[in-house]
Amino acid sequence: MPFVPKWTLPTGLNVSIECKRVSGLEPATVDWAFDLTKTNMQTMYEQTLQPLHVPSCTLTSLLSSPSYEVQLESKVRRKGLGKFLIQILQLMANSTQMKKVMLTVFKHNHGAYQFFREALQFEIDDSSPSMSGCCGEDCSYEILSRRTKFGDSHHSHAGGHCGGCCH
């Protein structure tokens, strides 16, 4: 049996984390994950009238990088687990020499937006519609990112124009 690390978060929540491929999960677990995502996200998607626009360089980066979906059941929210999981992702990104951790958050999801911006110090990414000039302020979401120790902090899209690297 493989070793599964266990932690007790400062809030007293006991957690253990395993990384598994979807192909190695029981069908009931896959169904639970889809249902959880639907429960958490369906209303958010219904409140917006526009599809997500993913710039081509971001899409290329996403396709060549690991991608994780972090969804929490309501009973474990506000207990430090979300922050803990994002910190683990940041450590994984550093250990694999990735340049940044990126995420998409709806602007009208004020709790999540504030959590990522303030508690976890994510910034609006240059590829976000509000920065790239794609949809401007009319866009219902932002792409946020947090650089790793390997991220180049000097790349900027001054004035929202990126010379084509993100379109």
CATH assignment of the domain containing 143: 3.40.630.30
Q: Is residue 166 one of the residues assigned to a domain?
A: no
Contact by Cβ (8 Å): 100, 30: no
Structural domain contains residue 165: no
Find out whether 155 and 145 touch, Cβ atoms under 8 Å: no
Contacts (Cβ under 8 Å, ≥6 apart) of 54: 62
C-beta of residue 139 within 8 angstroms of C-beta of residue 98 = no
Q: Are the C-beta atoms of residues 145 and 100 closer than 8 Å to each other?
A: yes
Q: What is the pLDDT along the chain (167 residues), one digit of tens a residue?
A: 566 688 899 999 999 988 888 899 999 999 999 999 889 888 877 777 655 555 555 555 555 566 778 889 999 999 999 999 999 999 989 999 989 999 989 888 899 999 999 999 999 998 888 887 766 567 788 899 999 998 876 544 444 444 333 33
**Which residues lie across from 19 on neighbouring strands?**
none
Query: Is residue 55 in some structural domain?
Result: yes
Domain, as residue range, for 35: 6-160
pTM of the model: 0.73
- Count the domains in the chain: 1
CA dihedral angle for residue 73, residue 63, residue 114, residue 82, rounded to 10 degrees: 30
CA atoms of 90 and 100, how far apart (whole Å): 8
